[in-house]
Structure 1
Amino acid sequence: IIVDHFHEQVLALNQIGGDARAMVVTSGIERAIQYFHAIGEYLVERKSPHRAIVAFSGEHEYGGAKVTEASLNGFPSNQIAEKIQADPCRFLICADKFQTGYDEPLLHTMYVDKVLSGIKAVQTLSRLNRAHPKKHDVFVLDFMNDSGGIQAAFADYYRTTVLAEETDPNKLHDLKAALDGHQVYGESQIDTLVALYLDGADRDRLDPILDACVAVYNEQLGEDAQVDFKGKAKTFLRAYGFLASILPYSNAEWEKLSIFLNFLVLKLPAPVEEDLSKGILEAIDMDSYRVEKRAAVKILLPDADAEIEPVPTTGGGRKLEPELDRLSNILKTFNDLFGNIPWSDADRVHTLITEDIPARVAADVAYQNARQHSDKQNARIEHDKALQRVMTAVLKDDTELFRQFMDNEGFRRWMGDMVFGLTYAPSTSGEAATNGRA
């Protein structure tokens, strides 16, 4: 499962520009060595160019012989962190090592075969949150822990949590049947749109199909039926997106319906009493569509103060975040200019505008080329195009921020100037311009 998932759902999707690494968290040294041999053998069997590294402390008896991580890996222990950054090493198999204080931006996926609780759970899973310009999500496949235990572990350290139930693959059959029953679309419409889209058709050839479905939705479904259809469509997209990132589904009908619904849902009008984003959803550039895998469980932690033990005074330090003063000034300006906007989650917006969005703009290839090979004026033109693409992608996560960017001229101008100021560095590579922030 681990090897196949990593190849088919991480590497095949070009995560972190094809440079993604995985950590396997095991319950002990014996188990780690077993994983090391099993993964290594299966990598050879599937003719993969990649290999695994094992990490544990001391000497251990295995198969009648004394072994160490160095003897198994074939290089000294102090080179593990360096070796995992370079091919062919892609899997880091750990037994109580590298689970705390390890900062590797290329780490994207974690496979957990160990009971985690308390601060250990927080420290272990947090190995994935090190930023990289090409890193837009992370993934955890946990074989041992339940969502309640993880929620309890994180509750002392975060303010909010949402906890979803387990995802049942069989529910996709029920959801598709319910959606089909509303007769908003026909199979021929799905087949036609998907074929046109995959062939690179322009928007003006896709919109008539979607508009016909929207007309049926508006004219033939009552309000309750509209709510039911739209809710089930979003549920189908979330469930299929998650399950497809774990299991190698071969159901072409589900895949086509997923593509179709990704476009259709954005065009379906909201109930009259809801806040409408008039003209925004219909104006989205279809070419910016991209599939991003999402976690099945979202954790909302209690919005309450918690008491934790003091940070230990022993051990190594850490580098302070660069540009901290600069980012603080950005947030101050943002609050001064736009603090009157009733953001539903101001902290999330702050993170998006100071971290996520600048990093994604800086990673845009066209903008990187302009920074390296053109003048500031042309770089700004490519920057603005990149920012538009990033903001369109942000729509799925934060409609509120997208609406302000599209409708509020002052906010859009400030956002453009701020992101350009953070990301523009003439005569440097794209990654160099973002290394300080990553």
Structure 2
Amino acid sequence: MGQFSVIFSRNPGSALSANQHLVAFSGEVDDKESGPDPFTETSKELNPGLNGRDIREAFKLPEYHVLLVANKFQTGFDQPLLCGMYVDRRLAGIQAVQTLSRLNRSYPGKDTTYVLDFVNSSDDILKAFQTYYETAHLANVTDPNLVFDLRAKLDASGYYDSFEVDRVVKVELDPLSKQGDLIAAIWPVVDRLLKSYKAAQECRKIALAKDDAQTTKDAQDEMNALILFRNDMGAFVRLYAFLAQIFDYGNTDIEKRYMFYRRLIPQLEFGCERETVDLSQIKLTHHKLSSKGQRPLALSSSEEATLKPYTAPGSGSLQDKEKALFAQIVERLNDLFQGVDEEDQVRYVMGDIKGQMLKSETLVQQAMNNTKEQFANSPDILTKIMDAVIDASDSHSSLSNQALGSSRVREGIKELLLGHGQLWEGLRQRGEASDHQTG
């Protein structure tokens, strides 16, 4: 039912009569495989012993010692009994400091704390704490009026109107409303925006086939505008969530848009298909823990940290999105390969390997005649990856040796090419271009 990011472990005290757990997350999770109805914190399947109590209060009881959280209780959760934390998500900056600091409350009999981190390096955590350890200076102040400026920009886009905002907010605030009511309220906006993006995408494809440069540019501009609109909504949500803790805006229209955007953003995938990996058949047979020794993490630093304020949110471009995409690719490749320069990894997988596979007539035909999901199940993909790895062994010996010696690496390459690498889309474009030339 989704991934939990942090697990808090409580000091058991003098006795451990039971070891029940609690699950904390915001909103609802709709998972048809686990049950027909959406799940919340109060669902009996997740927290059967909650009985209407607040999770903070229930966690004080002696029968609870483990709290699983997903993007919740990482700030402002004051429970002095916490002594252990298991981290399974990327943490950085102030978020790392706030999350790990949940453990720093003192309590009689609590003489130690521990963090078992499966994701972050000690250098990253040290860097996060150094910023705030001694002295941090603000480079400038954040203008609270930035929220109004960004709201004006989003309203002027014409992608929604005030009636549609009010319709969603009314359902959001109604304690008797159901998930279906919310979908009915927001779907007209979602459907219109998704269709607009799809129409521009199809127009661009046709214009490319006709070699119509101006129409291609116009269609691409429309697609870019929709993507930037979604990015600007995300900027508004982050900015308002931060500044509303400091300033009393006293403006219900601002709060309404915050609620509206939070519901709208997750629905706008704009041509991005979510890639999932089936882990149901994987079984853990063994594991090994090895000590790498102790190392000092000195918090004192000769350099003073400078904290930057919010400036001109919503003024970004698609370059920001491309940088974020590149960072995601690099992060995944770093999980696959060891001891190789990041740019070499990207060039190897997204350049050499993908380039070789795009030349395969077999894969072109399979992509043309199958959906992306069907194509992903083709055994020929891994075969062609192996062929491409062997072909690239002369110029990238270290990377090829790692790929040849590990099925996990080859599966990871396949996942990246089908996801961020858009291999299926590239093969179809090649097939369509070939058909057009033949016709």
TM-score, normalization by structure 1:
0.30
- Please identify the structure whose Cα radius of gyration is greater: 2
Ranked by relative contact order (alpha carbons within 8 Å, sequence separation 6 or more), the top structure is 1
